[in-house]
Each structure stands twice: as structure tokens, then as C-alpha cells.
Structure 1
Amino acid sequence: MLLELQQIIVHPGQQMLLKDISWQQLENILEEMGERRAARISYSNGWLEIMVPLAEHEKDKEIVGDLVKILLAILDVDFEPFGSTTLKNERMRQAVEPDTSFYIQNQGAVIGKNRIDLNIDPPPDLAIEIDITSRTRFDNYAILGIPELWRYQKQGLEIFLLQDGQYVKSPFSPNFPNIPIVELVNEYVPQCLTIGRSQAMRNFRSWMQENLQ
């Protein structure tokens, strides 16, 4: 007897791994799951992982994403945010959903698009993963050609740059040269938990305006 997808329950903070999933089955599962869902997926050569993040994961995702948006706005840099949209390439048999993602250098190529197909579209310039309840799938991102990947854990932010098909840890972000991104994120994300998100964001904006303008 085959199980229907709606019969399967994955609790927050847990993952489910399915094997021998064809590309068409992946497409069917994504369609059945819909756009408005808490679950995230990663797919590689027939292996499909479905993950449901905890509430603290979602909170950190929003905070880090907002910090990036504020920074880009203050720098007057054009960008297109794509959130946790599914990044997939059928030819490479890879798919992954970052916690949030941004087109910066390549923003002009995706203006007006609601979905990304990496068979024809460039990859995001920056993808961000919050590694509280799940493990960042470096291989997926590397195969799909994401040039810059941030991983935020309880210990703080790490920046990884794609070099010769492998991610190498970096102290800086090419998307934000001469800006201490790691130190800033590690300061203002915890601030949101101590003095409140609104005040922390105002503090961050003030720091940026004082130091970059």
C-alpha cells in the first residue's frame, strides 16, 4: 500500500529521508506541498530530505535576512530577494531550498520572475542557511553553483565561497567588501533577543549610517 504525502507527519526540528525519488516525483511532491509551507526540502540524485524547522530557526532566518536588506538599502545596491524559493536543476538532479537568498550582481536577470529554474537562470549571488535544526547541504549548493553561502549557527556566522567546486571558509563577503559582516551579524542577531528586534535593527541602521556614509 502506497502512502499519500498528507499522511506523513514531520514534527518541527525533525527530518525525513526518502530514497529512489525520481525527478517527476520530486516535482509532484513540491506541487502537493505547495508554496505556503513550513517544510524545507533538499534533493540530490534520488535522495529527498524533508525538514521542518523550529520556531527559533525561523526567527533567526528573518533577522539575518532583514540585516542583509538594510545593508543593501543603505549601500544603495539593487537586489532581488528570493527567500526560500526552490533552487533546482533537473540536468544536475539537484534541488535545495535555502532559508533565504538574494540576487545582487545578477538581479537584473530575475526581475519579474516568481520561480527560479537553474537550467536557464543564474544562481543567487548569496544563499543563507540557519543551521539550528538541520545540516547545511554544502554539496547541493556547490553543484548548483551558488558562489557565496552563509551559515548561521548558535556559535555565530560563517561565510563560505565557492572555489573550484568546493566551499572555502572566508573572513569576508565579496558582496559586501570592506564591511565586517561576521562581526555585525554576530552582534546584532543576539541583540534582537536581549533588547528587542526593533531596537536592534535601529542600532544596526545607525551603525551603518555612521560608518558607511
Structure 2
Amino acid sequence: MLLELRQLRIQPGQQLLLEEVSWQQFENILTELGEHRAARLSYSNGRLEIMVPLPEHEKAKEMIGDIVKILLEAQQIAFESLGSTTLKNERMTQAVEPDTCFYIQNQAAVIGKNRLDMSIDPPPDLAIEIDLTSRTQLDNYRILGVPELWRYRQQELQIHILQGGQYVESNSSSAFPGIPIIELVNRAIRQSQVSGRTQAIQVFRSWVRENL
């Protein structure tokens, strides 16, 4: 007897790993799960990971996403925020759903698009992953050519810049040169855990007004 995917229950913070999944099966799973779901998917060469994030994962994602938007808007930089849109390339047999992603230099190329095909569309300029329960596979993003990846794990932000086809960990962001992103993000999230999101964002906005 074959189980249908909707019969499976994955608890927050847990992962389901499926092997030998064809691209067509992966597409069928995407369709079956639908657009409005809590689960995040990652697919690479027949290996499919389905993960349901914890509530604290979502809080960190929202906080970092808000920080990016505030910085871009303060500098009057046009951007498109595509959230956890599925980034996929059938030819490369790769697909991944970041916690959130931003088109900055390439924002004009995705205006009005709800679905992306990485064999046609450019990758996002910045992808963000909250790694509280799973270890994000950097290869997904590397193969898809995402130039900058932020990973928030173990209470610290890590910045990975794509150089010569490989990710190199960096202390600074290509998207925000001259801005101490790691310090700002770490401080804002720590403060939000003590005094709440609203106060943490107010303090961050004050920093932006004084420094930008």
C-alpha cells in the first residue's frame, strides 16, 4: 500500500528525507503540498528534504527580513522580496526554498512574477536561511548561482559570498558594503528576545537614521 504525502505528519523542528525522488515526482509533491504551507523543501539530485520550522525560526526570519527591507528603503534601493519562493532548475536537478530572498540588482527581471525558473530567471541577489534545526545544503544555492547567502545559526549570522563558484565566509555583505550587518542582526535578534520585536526594530531604525 502506497502512502500519500498528505497522510504524513511532520512536527515543527522535524525533517523528512526522501531518496530517489524523480524531478516529476518532486513537481507532483510541490503541487500536492500547495502554495500555503509551513513546510520548506530542498531537492538535489533525487534527494528531497521536507522540514517544518519551529516558531522561533519564523521570528528570526521575520526580524532579519525586516532589517534588510529597512536598510534598502533607507538607501532608496529598489528591490523585490520574494519570501520562500521555490528556486528550481530542472536541468541542474536542484531546487530550494529559502526562508526569504531578495532581488536587488536583478529586481526588474522578476517584477510581477509569482513563480521562478532558474533556467530562465536570474537567482536572487540575497537568500536568507534560518538554520535552527537543519543544516542548509550550501550546494543547492551554489549550483543555482545565488551570489550571497546569509545563514543564521546558533545565535550568530554567517555571510557566504559566491567567489569562483564556491562560497567563502565573509565578515561583510556585498549587498550592504560598509554596513556592519553581522553585528546589527545579532544585536537586534538578541534584543527582540529580551524586549520584543517592536523595541528592537525601533533601536535598529535609530541606528539607521544616525548612520545612513
TM-score, length-scaled by structure 2: 0.98
2:83 is paired with a residue whose SS is: coil
Structure 2 residue aligned with 1:77: 77
Structure 1 residue aligned with 2:151: 151
Q: Deviations over 1:158-191 (max 9, x none)?
A: 1000112211000101110111101110111111
Q: Deviations over 1:79-112 (max 9, x none)?
A: 0001011000000000000000000000010011
Shift of 1:194: 1.1
For the pair 1:167 / 2:167, whether they are aligned, the reply is yes
Shift of 1:154: 2.5
- The CA RMSD measured in Å over matched residues stands at 0.7
Unaligned runs of 5+ in 2: none
Letter in 1 for 2:3: L
Q: 1:132-147 to 2 correspondence within 5 Å?
A: 132-147=132-147
CA–CA separation in structure 2 for the residues paired with 1:44 and 1:115? 19
Shift of 1:155: 3.2
Letter in 1 for 2:75: L
Alignment: residue pair count: 212
Structure 2 residue aligned with 1:9: 9
Letter in 2 for 1:115: R
Structure 1 residue aligned with 2:197: 197
2:3 is paired with a residue whose SS is: coil
Unaligned runs of 5+ in 1: none
The 4+ residue runs of structure 1 with deviation greater than 6 A are: none
CA–CA separation in structure 1 for the residues paired with 2:79 and 2:61? 18
CA–CA separation in structure 2 for the residues paired with 1:190 and 1:116? 34
Letter in 1 for 2:175: N
CA–CA separation in structure 2 for the residues paired with 1:65 and 1:134? 19
Structure 2 residue aligned with 1:120: 120
Shift of 1:139: 0.6
CA–CA separation in structure 2 for the residues paired with 1:200 and 1:28? 41
Structure 1 residue aligned with 2:45: 45
Q: Deviations over 1:13-42 (max 9, x none)?
A: 111111111111111100110111110010
2:159 is paired with a residue whose SS is: strand
Letter in 2 for 1:74: A
Letter in 1 for 2:168: V
CA–CA separation in structure 1 for the residues paired with 2:80 and 2:151? 20
Shift of 1:6: 0.8
